Each structure stands twice: as C-alpha cells, then as structure tokens.
C-alpha cells in the first residue's frame, strides 16, 4: 500500500514514541544453535517470528537480514514475507537489509521487489549499495519517495574490507563523502527529515564524514557484538546524534528464545539510548 506520510516523518514519529533503536532479525546459524534450533525452515520460522512477536510492539525498527532467509530458497523467502507483514502489523517499521545495487532495468526490478506497494516483500525501507554509482540508485530512491518509503545508502561501513574504497579520494573529494553529499541534496527541504538515509558504522572514527547537511536518518550498525558502545555514539556522531538509529542484533537476540528475555534485553538498550539523548 502507499503509506501516506513520508518515510522521514514516519520514522521520526516512531523514534519519538519508542526510542531510537533498530534490532536486526538475523537468523544466523550460531544464533539458531544458541536457541536450540536446527538449520531448517521450521527453525528459521520459529526464530524469526519469535523475535517479531517479542519486539514488534516495542522497538521503532526491525531489520530482517534477507540473506539469512534467502539461504533457504523459496521457503525461506516465504518466511521473510511473513516477517515483514507481521512486524509491520505489530507496529514496527521494517527496514529490509538487502544491500541491493545495480543499473538500469535491473535496479528498477529490485526497487519494485522491495518498495512497490503491490509487492509481498514491500518494506518501509531498504538498504542500498551505491558502488555502481550513486545515480544508479535513482529508480529505488524515486519509487521510495513516491510510495512513502525510505532507503539507507551505504556510505561508510564498519567492515575493514570497505575502508580502502570508501576512504579513497578522487578529484571531487572522498568517495564516502560524495555519497553523503548526494543524499543531502536529495533530502534538501524535507521536514522533519528526508527519505534518503545513510549507513555509517557506529565504529567509524569521529569526524571522518561531514554529516551536518544530510537532513536524513543515519543507520549505525555495530552496537554491541562489533565493539561499538552506546556511550561512544556521542563521540562518533556529535551534533547529528538525534538523527542516528543505532542497530544491534546479536546483543538482543542471544537472550532468546524466551520472548520476555528478548523484550528485557531490547529495553535495556533502549533505556541506555534514552539516557544518552537526554
């Protein structure tokens, strides 16, 4: 369905009501094992839907990692469709972590798969990779705006393999900064913020990027298991901290399979983030 209010406004309202936390729904084999589950579709479904049941009415954003579902073929994708539907019914915004990036008609097809109002996989937002050129993302960015959805474009990720490319300097400046600047141009004039977000790892060193003109949300993965801390977010993001959506997965999901334990773990992080922003 077309969602009416722009994504930036819907995200801002979700964060105001529930706090700035994004929890990944990542059915990683190690987590399935920790829950006493196997590596089969029934276990995948139990894990993912238990996480949704526990968290969809509590956190602002749930972020299913599509790869862990796609690994099970069509049956896994069917589970992912249920996750998207039930998470949104529970009141959470759904950020589908697909990291798609392509050109021309292929990018248009990806956009329709995840952002078209008639798609069974249509989420509130998706992650995109700009490293075939930021302009190649235009079909997804345009369709997201048209349907009230959002995108989060990889800018400066926390994985060490990305640093060489993302920190590279061209005639026009740094590669990652060029992505930030392009997103800022697309968000100009939006209130309270635009629908083009960025992915900037919570472990990235402070001051590496100028995010002051972005006027959009910043997904900051890496909280917990990857080494980033709630207290470190202020140093990393400084004045744009109110736009940051910290993301964690294992630090919450490892407390399953009990729904009460999952809710308690998420609430602990939410409380820490609320204290940080006060």
Active-site annotation, residues? 99
Q: Which among 265, 219, 255 is positioned nearest to 95, based on CA atoms?
A: 219
Which helix (H) or strand (E) segment holds residue 197: the answer is strand 196-200
Q: Give the phi and the psi of residue 48 in degrees, each rounded to 5.
A: -65, -45
Tokens linked to 239: 């004045």
Q: How many residues does the chain have?
A: 278
Q: Which residues contact 254 (CB under 8 A, 6 or more apart)?
A: 31, 34, 265
Which helix (H) or strand (E) segment holds residue 261: the answer is helix 259-277
How far from each other are the two terminal CA atoms of the chain, in whole angstroms?
36
Cβ–Cβ under 8 Å, residues 116 and 147: yes
DSSP β-bridge partners for residue 170: 173
Tokens linked to 180: 């930030």
DSSP β-bridge partners for residue 95: 125
For residue 202, the SS3 value is: coil
């Amino acid at each position: 369905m077309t969602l009416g209010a722009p994504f930036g406004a819907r995200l801002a309202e979700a964060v105001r009501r529930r706090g700035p936390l994004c929890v990944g729904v990542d059915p990683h084999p190690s987590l399935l094992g920790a829950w006493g589950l196997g590596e089969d579709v029934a276990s995948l479904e139990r894990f993912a839907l238990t996480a949704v049941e526990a968290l969809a009415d509590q956190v602002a954003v749930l972020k299913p990692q599509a790869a862990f579902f796609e690994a099970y073929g069509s049956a896994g994708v069917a589970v992912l469709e249920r996750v998207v539907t039930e998470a949104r019914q529970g009141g959470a915004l759904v950020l589908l972590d697909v990291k798609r990036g392509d050109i021309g008609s292929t990018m248009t097809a990806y956009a329709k798969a995840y952002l078209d109002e008639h798609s069974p996989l249509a989420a509130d937002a998706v992650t995109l990779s700009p490293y075939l050129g930021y302009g190649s993302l235009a079909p997804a960015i345009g369709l997201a705006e048209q349907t009230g959805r959002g995108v989060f474009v990889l800018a400066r990720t926390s994985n060490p393999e990305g640093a060489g490319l993302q920190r590279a300097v061209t005639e026009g400046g740094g590669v990652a900064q060029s992505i930030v600047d392009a997103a800022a141009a697309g968000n100009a004039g939006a209130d309270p913020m635009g629908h083009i977000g960025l992915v900037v790892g919570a472990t990235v060193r402070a001051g590496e990027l100028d995010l002051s003109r972005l006027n959009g949300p910043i997904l900051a993965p890496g909280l917990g298991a990857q080494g980033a801390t709630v207290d470190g977010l202020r140093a990393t993001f400084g004045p744009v901290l109110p736009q940051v959506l910290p993301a964690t997965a294992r630090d919450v999901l490892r407390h399953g399979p009990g729904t009460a334990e999952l809710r308690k773990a998420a609430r602990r992080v939410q409380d820490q983030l609320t204290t940080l922003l006060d």
